Amino acid sequence: MTTSIWKATAQKSNFPPLQGDITTDIAIVGGGITGITSAYLLARSGRKVVVLESGEVGGGTTGDSTGNLYSMIDKRLHHIQSKWDKETAGKVARSRTAAVDLIGELVRKYSIDCDFKRVPWYLFSETNKKDETIEKEIKAATDYGLQVEELQELPLPFSVSKAIKVEGQAQFNPAAFVKGLSQNINSGNCSIYEQSPVHHIEKGDKLVLSTPAGKVTANKVIMATHTPKGIYALQTALYPYREYAIAAKLRSGDFPDGIFWDTEAENHQSMRVYRKNGENYLLLLGGHHKVGQEDHYEKFFQRLEQKARKYFDIDRIDYKWSAQHYKPSDGLPFIGESADDNIFVATGFSTDGLTYGVLSAMIFDDLLNDRGNRWAKTYDAGRFTPIKSAKTFIKENINVAKQYLKDLPGKSEVDSLTEVKPGEGKVIEIDNEKWAVYRDDEGKVHSHSAVCTHMDCIVDWNDAERTWDCPCHGSRFKTTGEVIEGPAYSPLDKRKMISKE
Ligand SMILES: Cc1cc2nc3c(=O)[nH]c(=O)nc-3n(C[C@H](O)[C@H](O)[C@H](O)COP(=O)(O)OP(=O)(O)OC[C@H]3O[C@@H](n4cnc5c(N)ncnc54)[C@H](O)[C@@H]3O)c2cc1C
């Protein structure tokens, strides 16, 4: 089983499911860091808010993240300077600093028990191949009032060529923060419902959100679902990637405080320590790839474990998990009103979304209260940036087009059900229809249409998590067909398959 250290150790929240029909001013879909912080700020400013969460508060990507909070970005500030300009990169750094500071204030104000701590952020290269990246980032960070230092050594068990250190960044337990904040929202102005998936939004003068046991009628909707649910043109500018994580219990030794990013390791790696109840855990993350486009997913965990054991005295790997992020085409997230009137989105956060999620909440609080926001224009969800987006847009959309070729007749992973072993999933073609077939450990076959219910792409079997993952826009489904995450609203179609046993 894969589960994150945060989710495995989090206290259960117990908000009820929605039963019956209600009206509100603002409906927020999703109870991650974006949804809960938005609810907190909007309720504080006197607005009536309802949060609808399909599972548990903090149980989405927020609870699968690393818990690092920083002004810098995964894509690097100097890339934003060259793709956009110095002013935009400055806004990114300053707006993110403000969001990290707000988290610190909320933790203090409500004494949220989430191990929030100020720590430095480091980006380093192991050999001189990436020194130039480090040098450019030092220069960019210095431009924006951050406290920057260049280093040639780090307190790590391997040598580094060059590193940048930025003081005053932070770490916390993300699930504990979100759960803690959800307990401190003005309950006169806000109701939270868990186990209440929104499966449809009827658009009109009022917006009507349907859940299994009730409806919410609202003036405005914030889609805080990590990526917008349903079909939006914006999805051509969002690219889903998965990344892997382990929490390894240290038998001896320790790991220094700080956020450590290795720019040279295969596809970039991130390291931090988490200390709880006398146990020290090394969290190691990395190995990203497009969702649904690998043959074997377990290898990403194995690589992380090998690296951890090479350099540290590891007792055992207590938690392993993977999670998804959405890269934006022009390097900046999309925050604001969508093409649908009165529906607001917050997406394209890459792996920087704990801070961007809180920043989105700050922007929504201003926009929905008719106050100006100095960063709203930079992140405007309706922006059109063909030149800045072109390279990534073309590459990623050719990739999506190729995934549709898997739907061509005759493309089948196996010829008969007998070839699907216990614990395995395969796409099989019967009478020109593609089926996602899973055989459980007891030998029972579970079959669904392999056609993703978002935009008809063929799903792919993920052997590490036993899920069906869509390679086009990142929707993921359980072996029972239910949606786990991504833009799809509906489960995989469960029709009776004519046996090919
Ligand atoms: C491996 C990894 C590590 C990361 N580490 C960091 C980090 O250290 N620092 C950082 O800043 N960022 C990090 N990120 C990014 C960050 O985790 C995310 O960007 C952020 O958590 C997004 O928060 P959110 O609230 O927008 O989405 P989520 O936390 O995913 O919340 C969305 C919620 O919407 C709910 N939902 C979905 N559909 C429906 C529906 N139909 N009806 C009702 N509810 C619905 C989901 O159940 C979920 O709870 C990381 C990402 C990955 C993949």
Question: Confidence class of residue 386 from pLDDT cuts 50, 70 and 90?
Answer: confident
Q: Is 354 in the pocket of ligand 1 (CB under 6 A)?
A: yes
Question: Confidence class of residue 417 from pLDDT cuts 50, 70 and 90?
Answer: confident
Q: Is 481 in the pocket of ligand 1 (CB under 6 A)?
A: no
Mean pLDDT of 432-442: 93
pLDDT value of residue 267: 66
Q: Is 61 in the pocket of ligand 1 (CB under 6 A)?
A: yes
Give the homologous superfamily in CATH for domain 116-171+237-327.
D-Amino Acid Oxidase, subunit A, domain 2 (3.30.9.10)
Ligand 1, residue 325: give the atom nearest the CA.
53
pLDDT in tens, 105-143: 999 999 999 999 999 999 999 889 989 999 999 999 999
Q: How much of the chain, in percent, has pLDDT values that exceed 70? A: 98
Interatomic CA distance for residues 108 and 49, integer angstroms: 24
Indicate the top mutation candidate among 2, 18, 52, 61 to test ligand 1's pocket, ranked by most ligand atoms within 8 A of CB.
61
pLDDT value of residue 265: 72
Q: Is the pLDDT of residue 94 over 60?
A: yes
CA distances from 120 to 101, 170, 261, 325 (A): 14, 7, 11, 24
Ligand 1, residue 245: give the atom nearest the CA.
1
Question: Confidence class of residue 479 from pLDDT cuts 50, 70 and 90?
Answer: very high
Q: Is 55 in the pocket of ligand 1 (CB under 6 A)?
A: yes
CA of 64 to the centre of ligand 1 (A): 8
CA of 35 to the centre of ligand 1 (A): 10
Interatomic CA distance for residues 355 and 100, integer angstroms: 6
Edge-to-edge strands, sheet with 200-202: 22-23, 214-218, 207-211, 200-202
Name the least confident of 188-202, 394-408, 448-462.
394-408
CA of 15 to the centre of ligand 1 (A): 19
pLDDT in tens, 36-47: 999 999 999 999
Q: Is 365 in the pocket of ligand 1 (CB under 6 A)?
A: no
Interatomic CA distance for residues 475 and 473, integer angstroms: 6
Mean pLDDT of 313-335: 97
Question: Confidence class of residue 500 from pLDDT cuts 50, 70 and 90?
Answer: low
pLDDT in tens, 293-302: 998 999 999 9
pLDDT value of residue 453: 96
Q: Is 191 in the pocket of ligand 1 (CB under 6 A)?
A: no
Q: Residue 491's Cα: distance from chain center in Å?
A: 20
Q: Which residue has the tokens 């929490």?
A: 247
pLDDT value of residue 403: 84
Q: Is 349 in the pocket of ligand 1 (CB under 6 A)?
A: yes
418 vs 245, higher pLDDT:
245
To 5 degrees, how large is the angle CA 120–CA 373–CA 341? 120
CA distances from 430 to 113, 417, 479, 500 (A): 54, 10, 19, 8
Indicate the top mutation candidate among 56, 62, 242 to test ligand 1's pocket, ranked by most ligand atoms within 8 A of CB.
62
Ligand 1, residue 56: give the atom nearest the CA.
49
Indicate the top mutation candidate among 354, 355, 490 to test ligand 1's pocket, ranked by most ligand atoms within 8 A of CB.
354
Question: Confidence class of residue 397 from pLDDT cuts 50, 70 and 90?
Answer: confident
Q: Do 82 and 69 meet the contact criterion of CB atoms below 8 Å apart?
A: no
Interatomic CA distance for residues 212 and 303, integer angstroms: 41
**Residue closest by Cα to atom 4 of ligand 1:** 65
Interatomic CA distance for residues 450 and 470, integer angstroms: 9
CA of 61 to the centre of ligand 1 (A): 3
What CATH code would you report for 408-485? 2.102.10.10
Name the least confident of 189-203, 260-274, 459-473.
260-274
To 5 degrees, how large is the angle CA 39–CA 191–CA 217? 90
Ligand 1, residue 285: give the atom nearest the CA.
1
Q: Where in the chain is the domain with CATH 2.102.10.10?
A: 408-485
Q: Do 175 and 62 meet the contact criterion of CB atoms below 8 Å apart?
A: yes
